[in-house]
Amino acid sequence: MISESRCPVEDGELYVRSTGEGPLLLLIAGGLGSADTFRAMTKLLADDYTVVTYDRRGHFRSTDTSTGPVSVPKQAEDAYAVLQHVGGGPASVFGTSAGALIGLDLVARHPDAATTLVAHEPPAIQLLPDALGWLDEANAQVRLAQAGDLMGAFKRFTDGIAGAALPELRAIRLPNEEDWKRLFGRELAEILDYLPDLRALRRARTEIFPVAGVGSRGHYHYHPAKILALELGLPFTEMPGAHLAPQRNPAQFTEALRDLLEG
């Protein structure tokens, strides 16, 4: 049975969806932050977990009346509010891409909220030696979007992600345009400028698994998880698929996620 509700947060409300029975498992989406990202995974997990997903603030069915940049810490407080909304936890948490950064900040700020965090390909480029180059590229994408070339910004964004690039098409309409405008205009720079609080993460008793997809080797979003594991003195784990494996390879990916959560 699926339960839908709305969680009040500062400057808005979040659409929250819960299903299944068992220990609490919060899934935090990357990209445009849609709960629908995890539809296939949720079906595979619902027999053993109470699976909670939500639309990130300002995206799809969630609202946001604030203006200006949306920081990772603000989104981490949203995730914490969702956990309180559904019963308080502690919970297992899985985050992918930007959702992994949000999960890391959640653990740093509220270490008692999560027993386990699986952080899949967090784009923590501030951990990389060539961070400035990646920030310059993100700023170039933001400028394209601000100049009205949303498709150009989108193509440059997806070209850098393993397995995400689109085939060459003469004409295509970008779905969810308002959500992409929000990502480029208010979120992307904040996400890529975020440096995880390594000191707080070392102190936390949460079991943290930095992971990346075998299909992402050689891409910028693969390396931060490896560096994070080294910084925290934790093992690094390769997962099936590439950056979008939670959507494109859900069965194989979910099996590997179960191994981490239950092993």
The structure's pTM equals: 0.96
Residues 222 and 105 in one domain: yes
Q: Are residues 157 and 169 in the same domain?
A: yes
Retrieve residue 61's tokens.
């069915």
pLDDT digits (tens, 9 = 90+) for 147-200: 999 999 999 999 888 766 655 555 567 889 999 999 999 999 999 999 999 999
Q: Which secondary-structure segment (H or E) carries 30?
A: none
How many Cβ atoms sit within 10 Å of the Cβ of residue 7? 18
pLDDT of the residue at 23: 96
Number of domains making up the chain: 2
Question: How high is the pLDDT of residue 162?
Answer: 79
Q: Residues 234, 113: one domain?
A: yes
Let me know whether 151 and 204 are in one domain.
Answer: no
Q: Do 63 and 109 reside in the same domain of the chain?
A: yes
Closest CA to 59 of 75, 77, 73: 75
* Residue 259: predicted pLDDT: 96
Are 233 and 142 contacting, i.e. CB atoms less than 8 angstroms apart?
no
Predicted local confidence at residue 1, as pLDDT? 83
Buried b (16+ CB within 10 A) or exposed e, 61-76: bbbbeeeeebbbbbbb
Q: Has residue 11 got a pLDDT over 60?
A: yes
Closest CA to 70 of 154, 177, 191: 191
Final residue in a domain of this structure, among 186, 204, 227? 186
Nearest 5°: the CA angle 178, 180, 185 is 95
- The strands making up 2-9's β-sheet, listed across from edge to edge, are 2-9, 12-19, 50-54, 24-28, 91-96, 114-120, 207-213, 237-239
pLDDT for 28-63, tens place per residue? 999 999 999 999 999 999 999 999 999 999 999 999
Question: What number of residues does the chain have?
Answer: 263
List pLDDT tens digits, range 91-146. 999 999 999 999 999 999 999 999 999 999 999 999 999 999 999 999 999 999 99
Residues 124 and 136 grouped into a single domain: no
Which of 186, 211, 227 delimits the end of a domain? Answer: 186
Domain match, 200 and 247 both: yes
pLDDT of residue 173: 72
Give residue 167's pLDDT: 54
pLDDT on residue 165:
60
Q: Phi-psi region for residue 246, left (φ > 0), alpha (ψ -120 to 50) or beta?
A: alpha
Give the pLDDT mean for 12-38: 97
Q: Are residues 97 and 206 in the same domain?
A: yes
Domain limit, last residue, from 147, 166, 186: 186
- What's the pLDDT at 160? 87
Do both 34 and 88 map to the same domain? yes
Do residues 148 and 32 both lie within one domain?
A: no
Shared domain check, 166 and 66: no
Q: Residue 17: which domain range?
A: 2-130+195-262
Shared domain for 38 and 152, answered yes or no, is: no
Tell me what pLDDT residue 172 has: 64
Looking at residue 26, which CATH number applies to its domain? 3.40.50.1820
